[in-house]
Structure 1
Amino acid sequence: MSLPKPVMRGLLARRLKLHLPIAFVLAIGSAIAFKYTVTEPRKQAYADFYKNYDSDKEFNAMKEAGIFESVQPSGE
């Protein structure tokens, strides 16, 4: 008694019928998960930060700290 030969003809097509839809579903699921777990909270954090951000106040604080070489603090 011998083992039957494996069927090789059409093997790739049969496997792709199963694996291709699974790959698409996993890719779309990963993209959706990334969008709602990473990008949306990041966009909200930026929106919250810039809601009350005063660039002139920040500039004056950095100027007083002496960060800029070309701008003299107002105290001098």
Structure 2
Amino acid sequence: MVDSFDELKQIFLNHFMIQKDCLYFADDLYTIWQREDEPLREYVACFSHEYSRCLKTDDRAAYGAFKSGFRSSHFR
């Protein structure tokens, strides 16, 4: 039983925060692409953040996904 609005609010936030912050699989990293106007530093930061949320991700698979997300440039 919920005794107060604050308690209801906390239950609601906890429920949706968990769903919002779900963990990914290695295959999901292949959906991260460097945008045309995105500097390499920002792409690396974004990828690193998403990689840190992956559960039991093989480093080799993550590296492959990271490389595949680069736009064509001299870094490829």
Q: TM-score range by the shorter chain?
A: 0.3 to 0.5
Give the TM-score, by structure 1 length. 0.33
Q: Which has the higher contact order (CA 8 A, sep 6+)?
A: 2
Which structure has more helix as a fraction of its residues? 1
